[in-house]
Structure 1
Amino acid sequence: MSEIMRPMSIGHLMHWIMSEYEQKKSIFGIEKIVKHENGQALPIYEEKIESPFGPAAGPNSQLAQNIVAAYVAGSRFFELKTVQVMDGADLAACISRPCIIAGDECYNCEWSTELYVPQAFAEYVKAWVACKLIAKEYNLGDPDAFVFNMSVGYDLEGIKSPKVDKYINDMIEAKDTEVFKECINWALEHVNEFKNVDEEYIKNISSNVSNSITESTLHGCPPAEIERIATYLITEKHLNTFIKCNPTLLGYEYARKRLDGLGFDYIAFDDHHFLEDLQWADAVPMLHRLYDLCQEKGLEFGVKITNTFPVDVTRNELPSNEMYMAGRALFPLSIHVARLLTDEFQGKLRISYSGGATIENIKELFDAGIWPITMATNILKPGGYQRMSQIADELMECGSERFSGVNVAALAAIDDGVEAKAMYRKPVKPLPERHVDKKLPLFDCFNAPCRNGCPIEQDIPAYLQAMVDGDAKKALEIILERNPLPFITGTICPHHCGDKCMRNYYEETLHIRETKLAAASQAYNEILPALKAEGSVAGKKVAIIGGGPAGLAAAAFLSRAGVAVTVFERKEQLGGVVRNVIPEFRISADSIDKDVELCKAYGAEFKLGAEVTSVKALKAEGYTDVIVSIGAWKPGRSPLAYGEVTDALEFLMEAKKNGASMNIGKDVVVLGGGNTAMDVARAAKRLPGVENVRLIYRRTKRYMPADEEELQLAIEDGVEFLELLAPVGAENGKLKCSVMELGAPDASGRRSPVDTGRTEEYPADTIIAAIGETIDTSLYAELGVEMDAKGRPVVDANMMTTEAGVYAVGDSRRGPATVVEAIADSAKAAAAIAGISYDKYAEENVAADEKLYTAKKGVQSRDTGKTPDDRCLGCPTVCEVCTDVCPNRANVAIHVPGKCKAQIIHVDGMCNECGNCEVFCPYKGGRPYKDKFTLYWSEEDFLDSTNEGFLSLGGTQVKVRLDGKVETVDVVGETDLSADAVAVIRTVLKDYAYLIH
């Protein structure tokens, strides 16, 4: 049953580790195995750690394999998942699933171990012994230079209960416990399987698993109870002790103000936790008393900063009412708590830090004297545990000095610098949809999300790699196969391909658009002379009405295929809206000219100053097919009840042609919130005499349709944004607006504007409406083409209208849209007319060497401005993101003979349905823990699940569930199972037998 985890025996655990390392030189999927060889180790308690970081108490420190994975990735301080009196099935019943969502800042609705307390203890002991063995066997470092830190909660009565008390005592000294003896005996019985581990070493493995503890203070725990627990742990258990502190110490007003100022204003919480949790006035004297007590007892004392932050579920983020926030949104709160306590104790108080630690800030935290540092959110993201390998390299020279205090000034500088760092600031607009709208396949699931996010499915990974290889010519050839306008799209494309890029979860999207432009610029002069028609298509003669982006693209695709093409353009220059409307500061005439030349190169005929008023007349001239690509130039209806407005396109055309001589007054108001509105506002700011440009929109900036990039450029240009205003009318140089307010959120969390009944007026010498143009339907009307409710032609999948042989593409089909969407329409129409395929370079996307990309896993770039951009993770070659982000290692990549790429096996017994793999799977709604072929460890779990998968019955016999049918088969003999299923099962049985329980 998927949500029930089945702990591995020490034998299975070590067999998996050693077999995988022998075969692949990886351990639980961690290929970047860190070795500490410089002899440096930081003293902590009576122990030492080779690196000052590791996993926080949470999903990455719950099972033995999780801890081992963190260890081999370089961690040396392990905050074990919290143990409490409520455990096992009782606790699991309280956890809603999925329970983790870490797409940006992280939220969770689980808190302590889901195992029974004795099981949790056994996992930690197995992990302890396993790490000791592999440290020696694989020369990973000093076997005695890592620390396990217990975490317990949440009340003294529960902590003193027999099972939690036994847990603490046994962690302090485990030599008489059955699991410790089992682990040691297994190692002794299998000593001949080791190369560097001998009997003496095994017998000397320490049974003192932990002599330190972190007291987890559940929200609402009274200060007196917190102190009683800590006093008990210090005086009765003689443990070095950390107390978890919550961000609520800051007070509601501070927390709200700081999060709002950084763009996290949508995170909902009230003041009740701030009133119920530990107060600053109570915390400070308590911490002083506990600090003094530990000094008296010869123990170390400190605070853990911070616990997660409770917030409300308002957008169906998780199936609960409240959830706990962590990650980058927690850092600004956590670091300020750290600063306040450091000031209070003059740097003497030790801080164990967790709350948004990443490669970007961990070195400055350590240099300020804050360590150990633990993390959860960071390693729940793509790259997973392997992110720790980069951090281990960053902190390799950690020294060997005991904690001597926190640097007050250095910590203050970190806190003061939060506002200036983009990593702590949320973009103005909601993050875009990262997933592709396709169903996750059972097998062969690797794909390029960037391609799927691109309307023309550009072969992006292929041309990115060509540029990294220094072959701009090849890159441009790949681009031109699907995109004949590389200069225009390389400059002004909204590049939604980047929205899907897996690199967004590392630092920022790849610079796909910029790389396209670089390829075009570098290879243009070499490529252009060589372009020519690639064949000849008889019996086709195509007329294209309109020489904007859609018409140019259609002409290029068709003429390249050898079709006779004539383009009729009513203006004297080609380029449509891009040529005549989009401001020069956004795209140069030279860039447009180069794309025009590329489209002309295949032999299409272009007639300028030739307005077509009848499609029937063209048909009469012998054109077999007609493509209508006339754009959308008709002004939409005025948004004002009274007063005059200027149409956005008319304004932009005039500004582009005669901007220096225009006089539109001092105060300009722009109505609208899309990309065109941003162009209008920015163009108006550049006109002589204009002092103020105000953009008015009925919603907030967060819900304007403009792209984040265009919005930010307008802000940088000084455009004044007036939000929550609905224009009413204009007279006497004033624009009257209704004042709106945001209503209650809907199911998605979006709050619609509601009229307050109040009005305001603004000076307006010129009012420009950028609310969308419409289509001139006269050409369609002549033919009787069916139109939809929005006045757009009805087309089929090939862009053909209801009139045979007449196609509508671009804005003249969609209404105002993007250049790349126009190209997509034209590509479909051209393919239908001439049978064109655009897959010439498709194989380039999956043909690369896996090692080229696996080397980048978990590595966050410190320089995202590099050209060419070499950060591509090669998703169509090696995705496997569900294996990276699974804390329990329940998703495993296996290499199947005959398959070019790895397949994913889901191991049911290791999964608790946390849902983290669903968050990052490129497929929308894709749930690898439900949707991937599953390996079961028991008949009980097989029957309790609905996942398609198999159970090994021994030898080559398996029980399989596939396509809703359950059967027992011999996978060596004849079977009606799919070839994919048989191949995967055979591979697991033969090459990955260590996966089987």
Structure 2
Amino acid sequence: MGKVTGFLEFQRLQEASEDAKTRLGHYREFVLHLTDEEASRQGARCMDCGIPFCQTGCPVNNIIPDWNDLVYRGNWKLALDTLHSTNNFPEFTGRVCPAPCEASCTLNINNDPVGIKSIEHAIIDKGWEEGWVVPQPPAKVTGKRVAVIGAGPAGLACAQQLGRAGHEVTVFEKNDRVGGLLRYGIPDFKLEKSHIDRRVEQMKAEGVRFRTGVLVGELDGPGINDGSKERVSPAELLEQFDAVALTGGAEQPRDLPVPGRALRGVHFAMEFLPQQNKIVAGDKLKEQILATGKHVVVIGGGDTGSDCVGTSNRQGARSVTQFELMPQPPEQENKLLTWPNWPYKLRTSSSHEEGCARDWAVTTKRFVDDGKGRVKALVGARLEWKKDEATGQMKMSEVPGSEFELPADLVLFAMGFVSPVAKVLESFGVEKDGRGNAKATTDGEGCYATNVGKVFAAGDMRRGQSLVVWAIREGRQCARAIDEFLMGSSTLPR
């Protein structure tokens, strides 16, 4: 694949990006895709490795060596077709995916891996620029009707595949716009929402219908942004549709019930981030949670926490500190031990580079009241992690005398999500697994089917909090399962 000696001749090239200080003045994307020549050279680095572990590292099983080679040879149109054969929305993954495929790259054993994500980014952007991404309406219709609940990446992938198979698909979304976490969780500086909008237009041209502001069931938690104006009962959907796909998110955030939790200024990340996305979209809010001029503390070291850091800096925070409960990871993973699996190592995001104090092995003990019901400080302590000899598991204990106080005018919880928040599972009568998600298998006969007849589940609502690329995979596979259920067989790719 690529050039036989390319991995010896060319070095990995990072995508160019706007200077950190400059990009803090706006919410636009700041990463540029590779030029044709740069992408060709990076494609040339793809080795003829025999077993492409990158494909198994990729949840949607992208045919990575093939489109790397096609880009190297300048056959961009076929590269796009190859990319689209496994991934409905490479403009999403090419921007926000952490690229587990690169961790699995054979070249990564003792060198820098192939820049797979940057090549994917270049392919899809060129496809849109050249007008190659066009609607693909079905050749014939089946007369079968499918309801998809949730318009995040899983729901969109499921709906598009089913629409192209000829079914009449209606997507129900409780928020005022389509996209789920893509729309109201990921900041615009990482993913501009025009990418979602043009995919929605493509899907509408393919026959998919969207009904926004419609909630199926009832909310029993905060959710991302309940902009629903209409309620639809599961009984109505089961009567009107031949199949129902539950593809909502795992939106119940993990809480931190410590003294002072109820103080003003202590919020979930998903109360903070969606508001800024709505402002960027031109909406007017009666009241916005702002980091402007404040000491901001972000609790949680993952992608959501990083997004809070970047947004806080753009709003003009006085300081930003991010805490993580776990110890600091090593700067370099032990490749001989972890490859081709996802490695445990220190990861520094573009938001961290823009300005952030980071600290690890820290626990939050309480929040301090300013006397007026607002938070003014966080009291934390250092943690020590040791292996329990009996169980072999790592256990934490507070370091004696390590308690400290840090100024905090705004505290954001970004500690992950635990389960769906809408009572849609209960209202449908869907059985749950031990974590509160929809119970459904992903292999064998009846995959993605729940215990309720003609009701299927996929994405975060089934597997729990995960990546966009996993949502796309599950949406595609669920679509095939539904197609088989309706028609007896399916030609959709799994």
TM-score for both structures, normalised by structure 1:
0.38
Distance 1:655 1:765 in 2: 18
Distance 2:343 2:415 in 1: 12
Alignment pair present for 1:741 and 2:374: no
Equivalent residues of 1:682, 1:714 under 8 A apart: yes
Which of the numbers 218, 224, 235 marks the counterpart of 1:616? 235
Aligned twin of 2:276: 655
Distance 1:588 1:636 in 2: 27
CA offset at residue 539 of structure 1? 5.1
CA offset at residue 470 of structure 1? 1.3
- Which string of whole-angstrom CA distances, capped at 9 and with x for unpartnered residues, describes residues 400-444 of structure 1? xxxxxxxxxxxxxxxxxxxxxxxxxxxxxxxxxxxxxxxxxxxxx
Distance 1:703 1:670 in 2: 21
- Which string of whole-angstrom CA distances, capped at 9 and with x for unpartnered residues, describes residues 591-615 of structure 1? 2223333444422112222332322
Q: Secondary structure at the match of 2:348?
A: helix
Aligned twin of 1:790: 435
Aligned twin of 2:256: 638
CA offset at residue 638 of structure 1? 2.6
Alignment pair present for 1:577 and 2:184: no
Higher relative contact order (CA 8 A, sep 6+): 2
Q: Secondary structure at the match of 2:436?
A: coil
Alignment pair present for 1:677 and 2:295: no
Alignment pair present for 1:586 and 2:190: yes
Alignment of 1:651-730 (within 5 A): 651-658=272-279, 663-664=290-291, 665-688=293-316, 690-702=317-329, 711-730=348-367
Q: Identify the structure with the greater helix proportion.
A: 1
Which of the numbers 476, 480, 483 marks the counterpart of 1:831? 480
Q: Which letter maps to 1:792?
A: N
Q: Secondary structure at the match of 2:68?
A: helix
Equivalent residues of 1:675, 1:707 under 8 A apart: no
CA offset at residue 821 of structure 1? 0.6
Gap regions ≥5 residues in structure 2: 10-48, 218-232, 332-341, 370-375, 485-489
Percent identity of the aligned residues?
Answer: 30
Alignment of 1:425-436 (within 5 A): none
Distance 1:746 1:486 in 2: 46
CA offset at residue 726 of structure 1? 0.6
Equivalent residues of 1:452, 1:497 under 8 A apart: yes
Alignment pair present for 1:806 and 2:425: no
Alignment pair present for 1:492 and 2:96: yes
Q: Which letter maps to 1:821?
A: W
- Which string of whole-angstrom CA distances, capped at 9 and with x for unpartnered residues, describes residues 759-785 of structure 1? 211111111111123312511101221
Aligned twin of 2:43: none
Distance 1:553 1:714 in 2: 29
Which of the numbers 397, 413, 429 marks the counterpart of 1:769? 413
* Distance verdict in 2 for CA 1:585–1:567, change over 3 Å: same
Q: Secondary structure at the match of 1:702?
A: coil
* Distance verdict in 2 for CA 1:541–1:786, change over 3 Å: same
Q: Which letter maps to 1:682?
A: G
Equivalent residues of 2:134, 2:202 under 8 A apart: no
Equivalent residues of 2:103, 2:113 under 8 A apart: yes
Aligned twin of 1:989: none
Equivalent residues of 2:174, 2:212 under 8 A apart: yes
Q: Secondary structure at the match of 1:696?
A: strand
Equivalent residues of 1:671, 1:695 under 8 A apart: yes
Aligned twin of 2:426: 781
Distance 2:346 2:138 in 1: 38
Equivalent residues of 1:615, 1:626 under 8 A apart: no
Alignment of 1:72-221 (within 5 A): none
- Which string of whole-angstrom CA distances, capped at 9 and with x for unpartnered residues, describes residues 618-666 of structure 1? 1111x11101122123333334243332011111112333489754452
Equivalent residues of 2:330, 2:345 under 8 A apart: no
Alignment of 1:443-458 (within 5 A): 446-458=50-62
Equivalent residues of 2:66, 2:82 under 8 A apart: yes
Aligned twin of 2:404: 760
Aligned CA-pair RMSD = 3.1
Higher Rg of the two aligned structures = 1
Equivalent residues of 1:698, 1:753 under 8 A apart: no
Count of aligned residue pairs for this structure pair = 399
Gap regions ≥5 residues in structure 1: 1-30, 33-382, 391-444, 841-997
Q: Secondary structure at the match of 1:504?
A: helix
Equivalent residues of 1:487, 1:595 under 8 A apart: no
TM-score for both structures, normalised by structure 2:
0.74
- Which string of whole-angstrom CA distances, capped at 9 and with x for unpartnered residues, describes residues 666-696 of structure 1? 21111112111111122112213x1211111
Distance 2:396 2:290 in 1: 35
* Distance verdict in 2 for CA 1:492–1:505, change over 3 Å: same
Which of the numbers 240, 245, 256 marks the counterpart of 1:627? 245
- Which string of whole-angstrom CA distances, capped at 9 and with x for unpartnered residues, describes residues 70-104 of structure 1? xxxxxxxxxxxxxxxxxxxxxxxxxxxxxxxxxxx
Equivalent residues of 1:490, 1:517 under 8 A apart: yes
CA offset at residue 749 of structure 1? 10
* Distance verdict in 2 for CA 1:744–1:638, change over 3 Å: closer
* Distance verdict in 2 for CA 1:748–1:831, change over 3 Å: farther
Q: Secondary structure at the match of 1:482?
A: coil
CA offset at residue 802 of structure 1? 1.4
Distance 2:52 2:390 in 1: 30
Alignment of 1:401-416 (within 5 A): none
Distance 2:390 2:130 in 1: 54
Distance 2:411 2:256 in 1: 11
